Amino acid sequence: MAMENGEIPENANEHCPGPQSESAGKSDACQGCPNQEICATTAKGPDPDLVAIAERMATVKHKILVLSGKGGVGKSTFSAQLSFALAAKDFQVGLLDIDLCGPSIPKMLGLEGQDIHQSNLGWSPVYVESNLGVMSIGFMLPNPDEAVIWRGPRKNGLIKQFLKDVYWGELDFLVVDAPPGTSDEHISIVQFLQATGIDGAIIVTTPQQVSLIDVRKEVSFCKKVGVPVLGVVENMSGLCQPLTDFKFLRMTEAGEHTDVTGKVIEYMREKAPEMLDLIAANEVFDSSGGGAAKMCMEMGVPFLGKVPLDPQICKAAEEGKSCFTEQKCRVSAPALQNIIEKLMANYWHEETPVER
Mean pLDDT comparison of 25-29, 161-165, 284-288, highest-scoring range: 161-165
How large a percentage of the chain has pLDDT more than 90? 69
Whether 199 shows a pLDDT value over 80: the answer reads yes
Pick out the residues of the known binding site. 16, 30, 33, 39, 69-76
Distance CA 320, CA 114 (A): 13
Give the span between the Cα atoms of 285 and 209, in whole angstroms.
9
* pLDDT over 60 (residue 55): yes
Q: Tell me the pTM.
A: 0.85
pLDDT of 46 higher than 70: no
The rounded distance, in Å, linking the Cα atoms of 149 and 208 is: 31
| Residue-range domains of the chain with CATH | 21-47 (no CATH), 59-238+284-348 (3.40.50.300), 240-282 (no CATH)
pLDDT attached to residue 38? 75
pLDDT at 198: 96
Q: What is the pLDDT of residue 356?
A: 58
Question: How large is the greatest C-alpha to C-alpha distance in the chain, in angstroms?
Answer: 85
**Could you read off the pLDDT of 230-271 as tens digits, one per residue?**
999 999 999 999 999 999 999 988 889 999 999 999 999 999
Contact 307, 238 (CB under 8 A): no
Question: Is residue 170's pLDDT more than 70?
Answer: yes
Grade residue 33 by pLDDT with cuts at 50, 70 and 90: confident
Looking at residue 7, its pLDDT comes to: 65
Binding-site annotation: residue ranges for ATP = 69-76
Give the bridge partners for 299, in sequence order. none
Give me the pLDDT at residue 4, please.
46
Q: Confidence band (pLDDT; 50, 70, 90) for 153?
A: confident
The 3-state DSSP class for residue 270 equals helix
Q: What is the pLDDT of residues 307-327, one digit of tens each?
A: 999 999 999 999 999 999 978
The per-residue pLDDT for 1 is: 41
pLDDT at 3: 47
Q: What is the pLDDT of residue 2?
A: 40
Q: Tell which residue, 248, 218, 247, has the closest CA to residue 233.
A: 218
Q: What is the pLDDT of residue 43?
A: 54
**What is the mean pLDDT of the segment spanning 138-157?**
87
Output the pLDDT for position 183: 85
Average pLDDT over all residues of the chain: 90
When pLDDT is cut at 50, 70 and 90, the band that residue 150 belongs to is: confident
Render pLDDT for 260-278 as a digit per residue (tens, 0 to 9). Answer: 999 999 999 999 999 999 9
Residues annotated in a binding site for [4Fe-4S] cluster: 16, 30, 33, 39
pLDDT digits over 76-88, tens only? 999 999 999 999 9
- Cβ contact 176:65 at 8 Å: yes
Bridge partner list, 235: 307
**3-state SS class at 305:** strand
Read off the pLDDT band of 44 (50, 70, 90).
low
State what percent of residues in the chain have pLDDT above 70. Answer: 95
Enclosing H/E stretch for 77: helix 75-88
What average pLDDT does this structure show over 100-127? 93
Predicted pLDDT at 148: 86
